[in-house]
Structure formats: structure tokens, C-alpha cells
Amino acid sequence: VNTHQLQTPALVVDAGGLQHNLDTMAAALPGGRLRPHVKAHKTTALARRQVAAGHRTFTCATICEVEGMAAAGLGDDLLLANEVVDATRLGRVVATGARVTLAVDSEATIDAARDGGVHEVLIDVNVGLPRCGCAPEDAGRLAEMANAKGLSVRGVMGYEGHIVGLPDREQRAHLVEGCMQLLLQAHQAVGGELVSAGGTGTYDLNTWAGEIQAGSYVLMDTAYAQLGLPFVNALTVLATVISVNPAGWAVADCGLKALGMDHGNPRMADGAPVWFCSDEHITFAPTEGSPGYRVGDRVAVVPAHVDPTIAYHQTMHVVDGDAVLESWAVDLRGW
């Protein structure tokens, strides 16, 4: 199959870029030092490539991701790094023999783990991102409570999500240290073998966590590209030019329903300035001096945010130039 035969908009992954990112990360954080976050790609076939790169433990954001990873035989050690109030479906996954660890930050979520049949938990600690996680000084009490209710506490997690995207490396380095002091303080009270944290933007700066939960590194996006990390942009959305206006702009069939837009407009791979996206359209202008576009031309759009972009698509095509090497189902979508 050739990329010209793909129906657009189509999610396209450059095979060489993907391999570069897998290799680069596996060299920096080998084996269990990385717990790849599958929410970035939602694709068991890609998770298998991460296994081939040496990683056997995974981070998930949804129950559906845990179920899909376990069903695909990738359930050696799955962390649901998120709170749930009904863990029944997770208990069913545990009953199949997969290892599932659930983040908890309250009595209600501890009860949910116990009642649902999940036996292992991690105390989720708030290290500054206004999202889930208990206060660091409350972590010991929650761990005791979980133990008293018959759960095994594997340690702590604390995601520094407010830091990972800061463009200034020194600032990231400085701030991540403060976050991890809080997490280590909580770990002292909780105990256990796991201190789990970090993302793509702090993968090499967060030297306090025992394992890093990076996900975006494997495909990247324009937001993370600004950080000067050693990972390359391997993901584009292939689109078709459907209209060319003589006044100087062109329109392709890749709108905000095919792109995660919360980090801003995407970039055209050829450098053409993007004017705006609407539901099913992207409007852009040719760069000065370029021959312009014709209806039917294929163009590549680089998303600003990898995770929500992928969640819009059912299939991911792995390509080498114009050749489609493999087509993978984005099979961990939904909740």
C-alpha cells in the first residue's frame, strides 16, 4: 500500500523516527526505569514495540487501556495512574492473572480498589499540579488505611504535569527537584518499592523517581518539540488539499476533529503558515516563493498535542516514505 491510497485524514507514523525515539529512550532509561504511558498512543501494537525495546511495565490512564493491554498479553505490570470510584472492571482484569496497580488518594478510592478486587495500590501524591493526589503529609495515613483494609501498597506516585512542558530546561530542572522532595517525603512515610513520576519533558531531569511515566516521547508533537529533546517528530496527519483559493490560501481535509488542539494550532510539515482550523478544514497559505498547491495534493500536518490527536483516529499507519509498512488499530480508545 502507498500513502496516496490512504483515505484522509490519516494518522501516519514515520518508522525511522519511531525507532529513533524508542532507541533513544531505551538507552537513557532502560527496562523498568521507564514505565511508558500508553495514553499517548493508545495502540497495543506500539506498546509491543516498547516491549521489544526492553520495557515490560506500563502506565495507563483509563480502565479501557488496562483492559486492552491485559487482553493483548501485555499485563505483566500495569499501573492505572488515575483514580476510579468503581474498580469492578479492573478486578476482572486481575482475575485473569494480569498485575494491576491502582492509584488512590482518598478513603473512597481505597474502598473502590478493595471492593472491586484490586489488591495492589500506589498512593498518589499531589506535587503541585492541581489534579489528583493527596497532600504529601497525608500519604502515610492513607497507606496505613489501605494496609488495614487488606491492600498491598507498592509505593507512591506524583506527576509533575505543571512542569514537564516548561520550555526552559533550567527552570524545569529546578522545579522538578522541589516536586520530588515532596514525593520522597511521602515515600518515607509510605514505604514500598515504587517511586513513580515524570514525563517526556523531565525524563532525564527527574533523577529522584525510580521510574519515569513518559509517553509522548515515542511520537512527539509540536509542543514538546520546543523543548529541544533528543526525540524526533514521528507523527503527522496526512491530509488532502480540497480547495485552493486564487487569493492565496489552500484548504485541506484535516480539521480540529482530527487534531488535538489544546496546545494550539498544528504546523504544516512543509512550513506553510497555518491560518486556522475549523471542524473538518485546515486553512493555510503557501510559503513565499513556493509553487503553491493544487487540489488533490497530499500535505502533512504536525499535531500540537499527540495524545488527543491519536484518540480521534481508529488506525495508525507506519510508513517509510510513501510506503505503508503496517497499519495498527488504535485499539485502546474509549473508556
Q: Which positions touch ligand PLP (CB under 6 A)?
A: 37, 40, 59, 81, 159, 161, 164, 199-201, 213-217
- State in angstroms the smallest separation of the CB of 323 from ligand PLP: 29
Looking at beta carbons only, is 80 or 238 nearer to ligand PLP? 80
- State in angstroms the smallest separation of the CB of 103 from ligand PLP: 8
Residue entry with cell 492541581 = 130
- State in angstroms the smallest separation of the CB of 59 from ligand PLP: 6
- State in angstroms the smallest separation of the CB of 64 from ligand PLP: 15
- State in angstroms the smallest separation of the CB of 297 from ligand PLP: 32
Residue entry with cell 503529609 = 137
- Please provide the distance, in angstroms rounded to a whole number, between the alpha carbons at the two ends of the chain: 32
Looking at beta carbons only, is 8 or 21 nearer to ligand PLP? 21
Looking at beta carbons only, is 66 or 282 nearer to ligand PLP? 66
Neighbours of 280 (CB within 10 A): 15
Residues 300 and 277: their CA atoms lie apart, in Å, by: 14
Q: Which three cell numbers stand for residue 248?
A: 492565496
- State in angstroms the smallest separation of the CB of 35 from ligand PLP: 9
Looking at beta carbons only, is 59 or 240 nearer to ligand PLP? 59
Q: Under a CB-based contact definition with an 8 Å cutoff, are residues 238 and 298 in contact? A: yes
**Among all residues, whose Cβ is closest to ligand PLP?**
199
Looking at beta carbons only, is 22 or 324 nearer to ligand PLP? 22
Q: Under a CB-based contact definition with an 8 Å cutoff, are residues 132 and 156 in contact? A: no
Looking at beta carbons only, is 6 or 78 nearer to ligand PLP? 78
Looking at beta carbons only, is 121 or 214 nearer to ligand PLP? 214
- State in angstroms the smallest separation of the CB of 221 from ligand PLP: 9
- State in angstroms the smallest separation of the CB of 260 from ligand PLP: 11
Looking at beta carbons only, is 8 or 233 nearer to ligand PLP? 233
